[in-house]
């Protein structure tokens, strides 16, 4: 079977985000100016040397679309012996996360302001990640928009390349229809095995803290779906 890696047009068709407007507060703007030089990573298209970036050889976790970053900061603070790389494109959320990093007093979290798909394509060395987190991606609930969902075979190609054998892809969504799509897409890929799956009402998050989008989904009466998929050798 021909891989999506052989078709650049297909590879470029997936995006990790949709542009939306957001208002920056003064403190967020100040954080971008003052803290980005310390915690920010400029995307150049070249593969990052993660050991050099963090100054140690610890395992690295990549989080795609961290929102305001509260749960990412909490996770990084709880696991000081691991390194964390967060990707987000929306500047208010990045500014908020930078403020959280400073308040938490942690040095094991760096941020990239770029499309995560492009970072996965060229910005990481093969088998360099221990874990990828994809929490509450845009569900694109309308059927005609399903093709825009990030969880797709070509995205799994990129995750498989970036994860080391035994590394994990952790996903969460609050949309039942997207959960069905994730189940079907991962079940069709023999390179990943589902190690744990939870359906809950917000009380049993899987190896993560609660997120803003999770709380929003719960207020709408949605169930939460959590997975941990292992990248097989």
Q: Which residues are catalytically annotated?
A: 138
Neighbours of 145 (CB within 10 A): 12
User: Strand order in 40-41's β-sheet?
Assistant: 40-41, 109-112, 83-87, 60-64, 129-135, 163-173, 224-231, 192-200
3-class DSSP state for residue 157? helix
Question: Are the C-beta atoms of 135 and 171 separated by less than 8 Å?
Answer: yes
Compute CA distances 21 → 18, 80, 89, 213, whole Å. 10, 33, 11, 17
Say if residue 215 is exposed, middle or buried (CB neighbours under 10 Å; 0-12, 13-18, 19+).
exposed
Are residues 108 and 54 in contact, defined by beta-carbon separation less than 8 angstroms?
yes
- Return the exposure string of 81-109: e unless at least 16 CB atoms fall within 10 Å of the residue's CB, then b: ebbbbbbbbbebbbbbbbbbbeeeebebb
């Amino acid at each position: 079977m021909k891989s999506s890696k052989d078709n650049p047009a297909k590879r470029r068709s997936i995006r990790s985000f949709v542009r939306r407007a957001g208002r920056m507060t003064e403190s967020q703007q100040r954080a971008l100016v003052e803290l980005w030089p310390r915690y920010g990573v400029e995307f150049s298209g070249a593969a990052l040397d993660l050991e050099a970036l963090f100054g140690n050889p610890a395992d690295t976790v990549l989080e795609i679309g961290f929102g305001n970053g509260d749960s990412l900061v909490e996770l990084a603070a709880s696991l000081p012996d691991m390194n964390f790389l967060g990707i987000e494109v929306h500047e208010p959320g990045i500014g908020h996360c930078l403020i959280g990093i400073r308040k938490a007093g942690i040095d094991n979290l760096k941020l990239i302001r770029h499309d995560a798909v492009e970072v996965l394509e060229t910005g990481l060395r093969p088998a360099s990640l221990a874990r990828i987190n994809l929490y509450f991606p845009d569900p694109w609930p309308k059927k005609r928009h399903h093709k825009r969902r990030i969880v797709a075979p070509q995205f799994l190609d990129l995750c498989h390349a970036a994860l080391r054998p035994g590394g994990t892809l952790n996903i969460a969504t609050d949309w039942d229809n997207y959960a069905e799509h994730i189940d079907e897409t991962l079940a069709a890929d023999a390179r990943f095995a589902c190690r744990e799956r939870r359906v809950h009402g917000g009380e049993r998050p899987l190896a993560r803290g609660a997120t803003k989008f999770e709380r929003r989904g719960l207020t709408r009466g949605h169930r939460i779906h959590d997975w941990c998929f292992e990248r097989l050798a």
